[in-house]
Amino acid sequence: MTTKLLGRRLKGALAALTILATFAALVAWRNVAGEARIEPGAVQAPASDGVIARGAYLARAGNCIGCHTTAAGQAFAGGRGVDTPFGVVYAPNITPDDQTGIGTWSSAEFWRAMHHGRSKSGRLLYPAFPYPSFTNVTREDSDALYAYLRSVKPVGQPNLEHGLRFPYDTQAALAVWRALYFRPGEFAAEPKQSAEWNRGKYLVQGLGHCAACHSGRNFLGGTSLKTEFAGGLMPDATWYAPSLATPKEAGVQGWPKSEVVRLLKTGVSEHASVAGPMAEVVFSSTQYLTDQDLDAMTQFLASLPVKQPEPAKTDRVDAGGFARGGKVYEAQCASCHGDRGEGVPNIYPALAGNRAVNLGSYDNLVQVIRHGGFAPATAGNPAPFGMPPFGQTLNNSDLAAVVTYIRRSWGNAAAPVSSLEVLRVE
């Protein structure tokens, strides 16, 4: 090898190293940009009852308990796993236990987690903790939440280690993700809008973290302004969180405000009910919000600019399968949803013209038929109606036939679904 060639290679390597180092520095800088230095802080003295009560309310608005508590577990002691395309992320213990919880955290450290997505130790947090939304929460509200969480029963329960695959389990990968998709934000009110509208925006984009599910994500799990509220498959790929940006999906543009408030407060409205992950949201979060706050959220949601989804493909329907679907419908579905999919107001949703039925994604319809379910039991709807889990008696081919029948009858015009596609729905 000649010296010249060696020199060229060395130069090349140096250039690559420089680029890499610059990139690393940029990523590192992006991850701490805007952070104030945290003084080694003392744990704050107990707050007043009023602040704690406000924190409790805010914890409901953020549905903290939803992830930080398991089905039979103690409140806020963690342990629930969130399935993501990159592996399982387990929510940690956020009770004030010194060893296993956040008992030694100061309010500044808690704020840094909420606002910057970094732990007390400085470790970067996975965005399964929705800090890309919580970053909009004010310091005052963060402190109230902190005060409330300090007041709950401390539980000694060690955190579970995440089950993420390489390279997603590394802090470096997370740092790159954050550099690409996360910016610490500060909620800025829009002066042209009313105080109620701004309150609604603050709740929806902050603690409500609606965008965490109702937005499209790319293959790295990143979101963009373009895909905000545009709907997307849930991180665990079981349900599709419909778009809030079109009344064809879950948008409430043009809805009577009182019906939206009723849906979020009770889980049902005259023509709609919540199911799947949204049933959980109503059950453990929105039913506890005041009418004023729900009204504010409704005002903001109703004002979201409409983005029409791409028109659905209209495949031909196999006549034999359609007829079989009709038989299944008549035997299993018609006694509640009606011969023409008209439903029974306030009891069984109509299927004709039903938004969930006509989604481009058939996942939710398959989930509902396969697993059934009740609307959440709420103060406003304490004894909900329910649907049987037909997965116990119908095979995938019957399911596909009846799903297709429902999606193509009574004016519905969504794409047919094959048994293979039904099988794909987890």
Task: State the amino acid at position 273 in one-letter form.
Answer: S
Min dist CB 41 to other proteins, Å, is 38
User: Is 231 exposed, middle or buried, given 0-12, 13-18 or 19+ CB atoms closer than 10 A?
Assistant: buried
Contact partners, residue 223, CB within 8 Å, separation at least 6: 132, 181, 211, 215, 216, 217
* Least Cβ distance, residue 264 to other proteins (angstroms): 11
Least distance to other proteins from the beta carbon of 81, Å? 14
Binding site for other proteins (CB under 8 A): 70-72, 239, 242, 249-250, 252, 263, 267, 270-276, 278-280, 282-283, 330, 334-345, 347-356, 364, 368, 371-377, 382-393, 410-411
Nearer to other proteins among residue 115 and residue 407 (C-beta): 407
Please say which residue, 61 or 274, places its beta carbon nearer to other proteins: 274
**Nearest distance in Å: CB 13, other proteins:** 55
CA distance 167 to 186: 31
Sole residue written with tokens 């028109």: 311
Q: Which is nearer to other proteins, 61 or 368 (CB)?
A: 368
Closest separation in Å from C-beta 174 to other proteins: 31
Q: At closest approach, how far in Å is the CB of 383 from other proteins?
A: 6
State the minimum distance, in angstroms, from the CB of residue 23 to other proteins.
42
Q: With respect to other proteins, which residue has the nearer C-beta, 86 or 255?
A: 255
For the CA atoms of 47, 297, 183, 167, what is the dihedral angle to 10 degrees?
90
CB of 403 to other proteins, least distance (A): 15
Compare residues 171 and 308 and give the one whose CB is closer to other proteins.
308
Q: Which residues pair with 241 in a beta bridge?
A: 232
Smaller CB separation from other proteins, 149 or 250: 250
* 59 within 8 A of 145, measured Cβ to Cβ: yes
Nearer to other proteins, 114 or 263 (CB): 263
Residue whose CB is less far from other proteins, 3 or 392? 392
Q: In terms of Cα–Cα distance, which of 421, 399, 402 is closest to 325? A: 402
Residue among 71 and 195 whose Cβ is closer to other proteins = 71
CB of 127 to other proteins, least distance (A): 24
